[in-house]
Chain A
Amino acid sequence: MDMQVAKKKLGLKERYAVMTRGLDWTPSYQKMEDIYPYMAYEGIKIHDWDKWEDPFRLTMDSYWKYQAEKERKLYAIIDAFAQNNGHLNVTDARYINTLKLFISGISPLEYVAHRGFAHAGRAFPGAGPRVACLMQSLDEIRHAQTQVHAISNYNKYYNGMHDFHHMHDRVWFLSVPKSFFDDAITAGPFEFMVSIGFSFEYVLTNLLFVPFVSGAAYNGDMGTMTFGFSAQSDEARHMTLGLEVIKFILEQDPANVPIVQRWIDKWTWRGYRVLTLVAMMMDYMLPKRTMSWKEAWEVYFEENGGALFKDLARYGITMPKCAEQIALEKDHLSHQAWSTFYNYAAAANFHTWMPDEDEMTWLSSKYPESFDKLYRPRYEFWREQAAKGNRFYSKTLPMLCQTCQIPMVFTEPGEPTKICYREVDYKGDKYHFCSDPCKQIFEHEPEKYIQAWLPVQQIYQGNCFPEGTDPTVEGFDALAAVLKYYNLENGRDNLDFDISEDKKNFAEWRGQATKNI
């Protein structure tokens, strides 16, 4: 007679082992270096992949179950937000410009991160990092999707978001985040993991993700806030993975230390330059501020990052040198960035404006060393001119940095009235940089950065007009042609907030929702 024997359930640890490392095998008729061709060329030496400590004991089956539950909740709230005209609850319509910046500048990076982690995961012979990369790759594509869904509710009512992926590949300032990520995914798998996994996700994420999500919370945007909370558990996992990657690589071989240090130096700087956009968002674009950029940098980088690098000192890793320069820039970064977008408001997919009197007072109190002396006179002049119908729109294209692709707006360290110029001659041509770190990054790999798709250079080569445009006809309007190429409508998606359809519509709709008109 058959005896019914209850099947023994696997314990968590065994289950994890079976579902991850147990799925790995050793090839018998193919060489390891043929299967994993990208493991050696970056110079990183790994002796024992089994030393990898899995930061999260999460298996794929529980991943799906857990994420599906989270997303059911998220979409319920996004639906409620849409049905209740949640967009009319934000502090004021200027806030929506942060969402335009986010959807066209950041969400497309989530998608590229998805591809990057898929590629890195495939490249690693170790089963542990491969599974961790697989999960992060899935997280990133989910984040891209949920962001698009959450922000699409705003796209129904407001301008500038209608073709964010098209713009991401074309609009001048979006080449800054785009080229940052392109630089990372075209590096080898180890550099990718240090650049995105560690420098971006671990060291800098609190300065990107948290300001947007807390900005949403402070400004009454329940949809975006809920997305942020939903992604938080994933972000915690990404941070842990980033740190584990670094520790694992450093412990494997002392020869890895200088290579990793160079990557940390490079990617902390590259990431910081991208955060220029966040700095101005925090200090200028959120009607209800959370904290100043300077305060955020001090808390999240100088204090938290300082502790991290103290911890990494035992491996021989030191604080990136650029931190000293960043400390000198923190009184100026957001103001220089906002001035830039005020200059070029005719060519962006969001609106800019001059801060009102209360906001100027807030800025002086947060930046007592710099605001009243250097930036207030500029803004007061612009405000007076705008009141006279002479709002400043720069119509001449700016000079760009070859590495970070940001216009050359940054000033000499410690000399905030002098633009910082750096240049290098390479193979008979000149290349220009906004700073010493951007110059050093170029000098290390000039062959890579001479290929940069600099929007200004591309416009002047005639590559940024709709097909069939003849730029030689008399009276050719280059800006109009470039806006068409960007799929932006002049006078609707760009220019000053004060004259925008967004401002007018928001006031009207909110009026209908709150008054008897």
Chain B
Amino acid sequence: MAVAAVSKYEFAAADSQDKFHGAQLLFIGWEDHLLFCAPFAFPFPPAMRFGDVVAGPMQAAFGYHPDFAQIDWAKVEWLKSGKPFAPDFDKSLAENGLRHKDVIRFRTPGLNGIKGSCS
């Protein structure tokens, strides 16, 4: 459907990639850990190594949770747009096929929040 309008109605998106000074947005959510109320939004250069995202910004954002230190990253299950995803930690975000405003989630089997409450 289109907007009902009195004349031509065409405007640019307010968050297209060209507006982020070389960065692209990546959204990352941790399943079963709702102590973090929502997935996080990060601006990263597309050439950033996936492993560096995990070790740096993800550690900073999720590290408060006691489960984070116990994660065995080899066992983590990843989803991209809800579908299984196998990121290569040594490759860049772009090489892993991650584009502007993609959303990825990770599940940590055996770790499901404070007292198993998914918090």
Q: Which residue of B13, B99, B119 contacts A450 across the interface (Cβ within 8 Å)?
A: B13
Q: Say yes or no: A419-B39 contact (C-beta < 8 A), given A41-B4, A448-B3, A461-B15.
A: yes
What residues of chain B lie closer than 8 Å to A226, measured between beta carbons? none
What residues of chain A lie closer than 8 Å to B32, measured between beta carbons? 417-418
Residue interface bits B19-55, CB-to-A below 8 A is 1, else 0: 1110101010101101111111111000000000000
What residues of chain B lie closer than 8 Å to A380, measured between beta carbons? 114
Q: A214 near B: Cβ within 8 Å?
A: no
Q: Which residue of B2, B10, B42, B115 contacts A445 across the interface (Cβ within 8 Å)?
A: B2
Residue interface bits A178-212, CB-to-B below 8 A is 1, else 0: 00000000001000000000000000000000000
What residues of chain B lie closer than 8 Å to A53, measured between beta carbons? none
Q: Which residue of A37, A432, A444, A457 contacts B14 across the interface (Cβ within 8 Å)?
A: A457
Q: A290 near B: Cβ within 8 Å?
A: no
Q: Is the CB of B14 within 8 A of A452?
A: yes
Q: Is the CB of A38 within 8 A of B103?
A: no
Q: Is the CB of A377 within 8 A of B117?
A: yes
Q: A176 near B: Cβ within 8 Å?
A: no
A130-138, A298-306, A336-344, A495-503: which lies at the B interface? A336-344
Q: Is the CB of B25 within 8 A of A457?
A: yes
Q: Identify the closest chain B residue to A408 (Cβ).
A: B38
Q: Is the CB of B27 within 8 A of A443?
A: no
Q: Is the CB of B14 within 8 A of A429?
A: no
Q: Say yes or no: A381-B119 contact (C-beta < 8 A), given A432-B101, A447-B2, A447-B3.
A: yes
Q: Say yes or no: A188-B4 contact (C-beta < 8 A), given A399-B29, A454-B15, A461-B19.
A: yes
Q: Identify the closest chain A residue to B9 (Cβ).
A: A447
Residue interface bits A236-264, CB-to-B below 8 A is 1, else 0: 00000000000000000000000000000
A423–B39 alpha-carbon span in the complex (Å):
14
Q: A476 near B: Cβ within 8 Å?
A: no
A339–B117 alpha-carbon span in the complex (Å):
14
Q: Which residue of B43, B64, B118 contacts A392 across the interface (Cβ within 8 Å)?
A: B64
Q: Is the CB of A450 within 8 A of B14?
A: yes
Q: B86 near A: Cβ within 8 Å?
A: no
- Minimum C-beta distance from B58 to chain A (A): 9
Q: B70 near A: Cβ within 8 Å?
A: no
Q: B91 near A: Cβ within 8 Å?
A: no
Identify which of B11, B12, B14, B101 gathers the most chain A CB atoms within 10 Å of its CB: B14
Q: A296 near B: Cβ within 8 Å?
A: no
Q: Say yes or no: A418-B31 contact (C-beta < 8 A), given A41-B4, A457-B15.
A: yes
Q: Identify the closest chain B residue to A385 (Cβ).
A: B64
A452–B13 alpha-carbon span in the complex (Å):
8
Grouping DSSP codes into helix (H, G, I), strand (E, B) and loop, the B interface class, with mixed when no group exceeds half, is loop
Q: Identify the closest chain A residue to B82 (Cβ).
A: A421
Q: Which residue of B21, B36, B101 contacts A462 across the interface (Cβ within 8 Å)?
A: B21
A434–B81 alpha-carbon span in the complex (Å):
13
Q: Say yes or no: A450-B11 contact (C-beta < 8 A), given A381-B119, A421-B103.
A: yes
Q: Identify the closest chain A residue to B29 (Cβ).
A: A419
What residues of chain A lie closer than 8 Å to B118, measured between beta carbons? 374, 417
- Minimum C-beta distance from B116 to chain A (A): 8
Q: Is the CB of B3 within 8 A of A399?
A: no
Q: B74 near A: Cβ within 8 Å?
A: no
A38–B12 alpha-carbon span in the complex (Å):
24
A409–B82 alpha-carbon span in the complex (Å):
16
Grouping DSSP codes into helix (H, G, I), strand (E, B) and loop, the A interface class, with mixed when no group exceeds half, is mixed
- Minimum C-beta distance from A338 to chain B (A): 9
A459–B39 alpha-carbon span in the complex (Å):
17
Q: Which residue of A41, A336, A453, A460 contacts B41 across the interface (Cβ within 8 Å)?
A: A460
Q: Which of B77-109 contact A (CB under 8 A)?
A: 81-82, 99-103, 105
- Minimum C-beta distance from A185 to chain B (A): 15
Q: A398 near B: Cβ within 8 Å?
A: yes
What residues of chain B lie closer than 8 Å to A41, measured between beta carbons? 4-6
Identify which of A42, A396, A409, A454 gathers the most chain B CB atoms within 10 Å of its CB: A396
Q: Which of A437-467 contact B (CB under 8 A)?
A: 443-445, 447-448, 450-454, 456-458, 460-462
- Minimum C-beta distance from B108 to chain A (A): 14
Q: Which residue of A38, A419, A460 contacts B6 across the interface (Cβ within 8 Å)?
A: A38
- Minimum C-beta distance from A457 to chain B (A): 4
Q: A430 near B: Cβ within 8 Å?
A: yes
- Minimum C-beta distance from A377 to chain B (A): 4
What residues of chain A lie closer than 8 Å to B29, measured between beta carbons? 399, 408, 419, 421
Q: Say yes or no: A460-B25 contact (C-beta < 8 A), given A378-B34, A409-B37.
A: yes
Q: Is the CB of B61 within 8 A of A340?
A: no
Q: Which residue of B37, B82, B102 contacts A398 across the interface (Cβ within 8 Å)?
A: B37
Q: Is the CB of A377 within 8 A of B115?
A: yes
Q: B69 near A: Cβ within 8 Å?
A: no
A343–B61 alpha-carbon span in the complex (Å):
12
Q: Say yes or no: A432-B23 contact (C-beta < 8 A), given A336-B37, A400-B41, A451-B14.
A: no
A347–B36 alpha-carbon span in the complex (Å):
15
Q: Is the CB of A447 within 8 A of B10?
A: yes
What residues of chain B lie closer than 8 Å to A460, measured between beta carbons? 20, 23, 25, 41, 43
Chain B contacts to A: CB under 8 angstroms: 1-6, 9-16, 19-21, 23, 25, 27, 29, 31-32, 34-43, 57, 60-61, 64, 81-82, 99-103, 105, 113-115, 117-119
Closest 10 CB pairs of A and B: A378-B119, A417-B118, A407-B38, A396-B61, A398-B38, A457-B15, A377-B117, A450-B13, A340-B37, A399-B27
